[in-house]
Amino acid sequence: MSNSSIKTDVLIIGSGIAGLFAALKISEFADVVLVTKKDKNESNTNYAQGGIASVISKNDSFDKHIQDTLIAGAGLCNEKMVRIMVEEGPERIKDLIEIGTNFSKKEGHLDLALEGGHSEPRIVHAKDLTGKEIESALVTKVNSLKNIKVIENTIAIDLITEHNIKQLRASTLQNRTCWGAYVLDVKSGSVIKISSKATLLATGGVGQVYQHTTNPQIATGDGIAMSYRAGAKLANMEFIQFHPTSLYKKSSEFFGEQSFLISEAVRGFGGKLLTRNGFEFMSKYDERKELAPRDIVARAIDSELKKSGEEFVLLDITHKNSDEIKSHFPNIYEHCLKLGVDITKDPIPVVPAAHYSCGGVKVDEFARTSLKGLYACGEVTMTGVHGANRLASNSLLEAVVFADRVALDLKMFLKEQQDIFSEIPDWDDSGTLTADENVLISHNYKEVKTTMWDYVSIVRSNQRLERAAKRIHIIYEEVEDFYKRTKVFSELLELRNLVACAHIIIKSALQRKESRGLHFTLDYPDLSENAEDTIIQNVNP
C-alpha cells in the first residue's frame, strides 16, 4: 500500500450534477481532477425523478417562481440568492440541453409538469427518470474532455488545511485556506495526497443518517463532516426534508438500502392521499391538499399514521387514464409492478422518508465557503435558497446555477493563486493496524440510523433530541477511538462522517427554539419573530 500524490489546479469531490457541471465549466480554463466514491454515475442525481424547476412557460414569471420558493421556505430564504437561482435557471436548462440532455417534449416544446408548492407547471423533466438522463449526458460530455481526469472508487477522507501542517497549526480560523484533500483509493487501500489551488465540494446529502431514506448509499454527509472538521461554517442543518411518499416496504433486507421514491409529480398529476380505509385526509390539513409543500404533507401523513397505528397510507392515481399513467411514469409503473402493485389499478402504499438536506456548508453567491480556496455546490451547501423547506425540483436547479457561478469566480481566483502550497505532508498512518472488529462498524451504523429516525425525524422534542445526543456522543467516542487506531477503509470513513452529521443535526435542532418549515418541535410549536439561520462551526479544528 504505497501512498502517492497528485497536483492539479482544481480538485472536485463528487460526480453528481453539481460536480460534473462545474467540471465542464471549469475545464474551459483550468485542469480538473474529479474524485468520486463509487462509479461516476452513482449519486443522488441519478435517482432524481420529478425534474428541474424553471420559468419556461409564457404564463409563468420569475416573480411567481420566487414567491413559491419563498413561501415554501417559511420565512428563512435569502431572497437575493433565490432571485439568482430563478433568473439564471433558464440559461442553465439551455446548457443542459446543449450538453445533450433529452428532456420530455409535448407538441415540440418542453413538457412542463406541476409539483407541490408550484403555482404554475414549470418542472422540466425526462419522463420520471430526469436525474438519470442529466447524469448520463454530463458523464458522456466529461468523458470527452482531456483536461478533466476522473478517478472513481476514491473516497475523500479529509480536506487539507493548516491543521494538517505542523508549523501552521496555530493560525487563526479566519485565515484558513484549503489546499486539497487526502483521498483513499478504495481498491488498493492507499491514501493519495491531492494538492490543488482550489477545491470544490460536491458531495451531496446526508439521507443515509436516517433509517428510511430515498437516498442511495453514497449519501453519508462526507462533505459536511469534512468541512466541519476543517472549521468551515455550516448552517441550518436541522432542516432535513422528509419526502411524503416513498414506497412502503415491510422491512429492509439491508440497512443501507434506499427507499424507492414515488415522485411528487404523481400528486401533481392528480394522485390522492387516502388512509387505508379510503378516507381522503389532506383537506383537514391544508387547502392546497396533496399539493401543499412537502413539510405539511409529510407531517399530515405522520399524524394520520400515529392516530391509526397503521404502517402506511395510500396514494391513489387509479382514476387517471392508464396509458397516460404508464407514459408519464414508466419507471414508477415498472418498479411497483415488479413488487405486485399495478399503479393503474391499485393504490400505492407510501410512507415519508428522509430525502434532502436543506442546510449544509454555508456559501455565498459564488459558492465560496468560509475557508479560502474551498468552494461548495449542490446539496452539500446552504446557499439560502431553500430556507426552512425546499420547494420541489429546486435542488437540481440550485446545483447547476451555483456550479456555473463557481467557475465564474474561479477564473479570477486561479489567476491570483499562482502556486500550490509545497509543504503539505504525506498521509501518515504509522502506528495504526488493519481493522479486526468490523462489528463495531455495522452495529454503530445501524444504531445511528435508528436513533436519528426514532428521535430526530418529522416531529421532535427537547427530550427526544437530548436522548439522541447522548447516544450519538457514545458512538462518536467509540468511532473516533477506532479511527485513531486503524488503517482507514471506506465503511469506517462513512460511519465517522454519519456520526459527525448526526451530531451536527441534533446540535442545530436544539439551537432552534421554534417550529419552522421542516423543523417541528413539541416544545416550541410556534414561529419565533426573528427568522435566523443556525450556524455551527468547529472553532478548534
Residue 498 CB partners (closer than 8 Å, separation 6+): 206, 208, 209, 220, 221, 225, 445, 448, 449
Give CA–CA dist 80/71, Å, rounded.
15
Quick check: 403 and 91 in contact, CB under 8 A?
A: no
Backbone angles phi, psi at 479, to 5 degrees: -70, -40
Residue 153 CB, nearest approach to ligand FAD (Å): 9
In the bound state with ligand FAD, the residue whose beta carbon lies nearer, of 49 and 211, is 49
* Residue 490: half-sphere exposure toward Cβ, Cα within 13 Å: 17
Between the two ends of the chain, the Cα-to-Cα distance in Å is 28
What would the 3-class secondary structure string for 335-401 be?
A: HHHHCCCCCCCCCEEEEEEEEEECCEEECCCCCECCCECEEECCCCEECCCCCCCCCCCHHHHHHHH
264 binds ligand SIN (CB under 6 A): yes
389 binds ligand FAD (CB under 6 A): no
* Contact pick of 8, 27, 33, 44 for ligand FAD (by CB under 6 A): 44
Give CA–CA dist 396/228, Å, rounded.
24
* Contact pick of 8, 16, 282, 451 for ligand FAD (by CB under 6 A): 16
104 binds ligand FAD (CB under 6 A): no
396 binds ligand FAD (CB under 6 A): yes
Quick check: 123 and 396 in contact, CB under 8 A?
A: no
In the bound state with ligand FAD, the residue whose beta carbon lies nearer, of 154 and 515, is 154
| Apex 448 CA angle, 447 and 451, nearest 5 | 80
CA 360 from chain centre, in angstroms, equals 9
130 binds ligand FAD (CB under 6 A): yes
* Contact pick of 103, 356, 375, 445 for ligand FAD (by CB under 6 A): 356
Sign, CA dihedral 500-461-262-313, equals: positive
38 binds ligand FAD (CB under 6 A): yes
Residue 226 CB, nearest approach to ligand FAD (Å): 7
In the bound state with ligand FAD, the residue whose beta carbon lies nearer, of 219 and 441, is 219
Nearest CA to 214 among 238, 248, 239, 237? Answer: 248
395 binds ligand SIN (CB under 6 A): yes
Quick check: 338 and 196 in contact, CB under 8 A?
A: no
* Contact pick of 70, 129, 336, 392 for ligand SIN (by CB under 6 A): 392
| Active-site annotation holder among 294, 368, 460, 496 | 294
- Amino acid identity, residue 401? V
Indicate the helix (H) or strand (E) that contains 330: helix 330-338
Residue 498: contacted member of ligand SIN, ligand FAD, none (CB under 5 to 8 Å, by partner type) = none
Pairing of strands 52-53, 123-124: antiparallel
Among the candidate windows 67-75, 76-84, 171-179, 202-210, which touches ligand FAD by CB under 6 A? 202-210
48 binds ligand FAD (CB under 6 A): yes
160 binds ligand SIN (CB under 6 A): no
* Contact pick of 23, 156, 406, 501 for ligand FAD (by CB under 6 A): 156
Nearest CA to 220 among 175, 268, 255, 245? Answer: 255
* Contact pick of 27, 161, 389, 393 for ligand FAD (by CB under 6 A): 393
Site map 512..541 versus ligand SIN, x via CB under 6 A? ------------------------------
Residue 339 CB, nearest approach to ligand SIN (Å): 19
Quick check: 142 and 148 in contact, CB under 8 A?
A: yes
Quick check: 354 and 220 in contact, CB under 8 A?
A: no
For the question of residue 299 being annotated catalytic, the response is no
Among the candidate windows 39-47, 183-191, 257-265, 400-408, which touches ligand SIN by CB under 6 A? 257-265
Among the candidate windows 9-17, 92-100, 346-354, 435-443, which touches ligand FAD by CB under 6 A? 9-17
Give CA–CA dist 194/8, Å, rounded.
8
336 binds ligand FAD (CB under 6 A): no
Nearest CA to 157 among 180, 132, 129? Answer: 180
Among the candidate windows 40-48, 67-75, 327-335, 524-532, which touches ligand FAD by CB under 6 A? 40-48
Task: Compute how many other C-beta atoms are within 10 angstroms of the C-beta atom of residue 306.
Answer: 11
Residue 52: contacted member of ligand SIN, ligand FAD, none (CB under 5 to 8 Å, by partner type) = ligand FAD
Question: Binding-site residue total for ligand SIN (CB under 6 A)?
Answer: 9
In the bound state with ligand SIN, the residue whose beta carbon lies nearer, of 45 and 521, is 45
Q: Per the structure block, which three cell numbers stand in for 463? A: 427530550
* Contact pick of 265, 351, 506, 536 for ligand SIN (by CB under 6 A): 265
Quick check: 21 and 138 in contact, CB under 8 A?
A: yes
Question: Binding-site residue total for ligand FAD (CB under 6 A)?
Answer: 44
85 binds ligand SIN (CB under 6 A): no
393 binds ligand SIN (CB under 6 A): yes
* Contact pick of 49, 220, 236, 486 for ligand SIN (by CB under 6 A): 49
CA 297 from chain centre, in angstroms, equals 20
Residue 208 CB, nearest approach to ligand SIN (Å): 16
241 binds ligand FAD (CB under 6 A): no
Active-site positions read 294
| Residues within the interface to ligand FAD (CB under 6 A) | 13-19, 35-38, 42-45, 47-52, 130-131, 155-156, 202-205, 214-215, 218-219, 222, 261, 356, 378-380, 393-396, 399
List of residues contacting ligand SIN (CB under 6 A): 49-50, 261, 263-265, 392-393, 395
